[in-house]
Amino acid sequence: MLVDSHCHLAFPELAADVAGVVERARAAGVGRLVTVATRRVEWDEVRRLTALFPEVYAAVGVHPHHAADAGEAVTVEDLEAAVRDNPKVVGIGESGLDYFYDFTPRAVQESVFRVQAIAARRAGVPLIIHSREAESDTVRVVREVAEAPGFDRPLTGVLHCFSAGPALAKAGLDLGFFLSFAGIVTFKKADALRTVAATVPLDRLLVETDSPYLAPVPYRGKTCEPAYVARTAEVLAGIKGVSPAELAARTTNNFFRLFTKVPPP
Ligand SMILES: [Zn+2]
């Protein structure tokens, strides 16, 4: 069994044929999918999708691109309640910092990121992090929340769609986080990323599509969908020097270790 640890089934490109998308994932051996909200207004939709499909789980959060949008104000209590009130809400995110696009003032990005990190720690679910050209601030915020006193549980999480260099990989691993690879690792020009992926221990790797974006080779240019995670896993297996079956087993096992609210088969 494979897992797509990060997709966006509520985005229009996938929502238009969501039953077909889930069916094709099933046929490709993808047994669990986490559909990740990027805005508050999407939370109801991702929860609705979890009710429609047994293998679909959800994360709720606010992406840094939307952190200053009207209606996106979020509190630790809101996030905790969303996790507590629904057994299929299994993570918090998509959270993080994006200084590449800088759509949102950095101070706002950081405060909304911090709220989500605190909520993840309080709720005992993983924090799903998007980090782009914001390595040192990402690590600083995660470390501050991870080391803060007064919590019952550790902070856990994943650096999603990992596409940075060895420094962030090491910092993430040192914090106990998982690194999740998407289709970028299959791209022709991604030799540097493949070199980083080769160094990530097999017990800290996850796979994802980040669909509808970033379709892996040979599907580039098409709308990405969760079924394609099989292709990314196959390429990662080659990088790690293990069989595709072994890579699938390890990443799926890692998924259940991290997303502890998702029942294993
Ligand atoms: Zn995403």
Torsion, Cα of 156, 252, 134, 58 (10° steps): -70
Ligand 1 centroid – CA 243 distance (Å)? 27
Name the strands in the sheet holding 178-181, side by side, starting at the edge strand that comes first in the sequence: 2-7, 30-36, 56-60, 89-98, 127-132, 157-159, 178-181, 205-207
What is residue 265's predicted lDDT score, i.e. its pLDDT?
Answer: 86
Tokens 């966006």, located at residue: 8
Amino acid letter for position 169? A
* Per-block mean pLDDT, blocks of 10 residues, the chain (265 long): 98 97 98 98 97 98 95 95 98 97 96 98 98 97 97 97 97 98 97 98 98 95 97 98 98 98 93
50 by DSSP, 3-state: which?
A: helix
Report the candidate in 16, 22, 18, 20 with the shortest Cα–Cα distance to residue 4.
Answer: 22
CB 220 within 8 A of CB 231: no
What is residue 121's predicted lDDT score, i.e. its pLDDT?
Answer: 98
CA–CA dist 170, 199 (Å, integer): 9
Ligand 1 centroid – CA 182 distance (Å)? 10
Ligand 1 centroid – CA 160 distance (Å)? 7
Homologous superfamily (CATH) of 2-258 is Metal-dependent hydrolases (3.20.20.140)
Ligand 1 centroid – CA 149 distance (Å)? 30
Ligand 1 centroid – CA 102 distance (Å)? 16
Ligand 1 centroid – CA 13 distance (Å)? 14
CB 228 within 8 A of CB 211: yes
Give the residue extent of every domain in the chain. 2-258
CA–CA dist 204, 182 (Å, integer): 14
CA–CA dist 116, 129 (Å, integer): 10
Ligand 1 centroid – CA 210 distance (Å)? 5
- Where b means 16+ CB within 10 Å and e means fewer, 221-238 reads eebbbbbbbbbbbbbbbe
Ligand 1 centroid – CA 263 distance (Å)? 23
The angle, 0 to 180 degrees and rounded to 10, between the axes of the packed helices 244-258 and 229-240 is: 110
Ligand 1 centroid – CA 6 distance (Å)? 6
Ligand 1 centroid – CA 184 distance (Å)? 13
What is residue 123's predicted lDDT score, i.e. its pLDDT?
Answer: 97
Ligand 1 centroid – CA 58 distance (Å)? 12
Give the pairing type, strands 30-36 and 56-60.
parallel
> Tokens standing for 127?
């924090």
What is residue 202's predicted lDDT score, i.e. its pLDDT?
Answer: 98
Ligand 1 centroid – CA 150 distance (Å)? 31
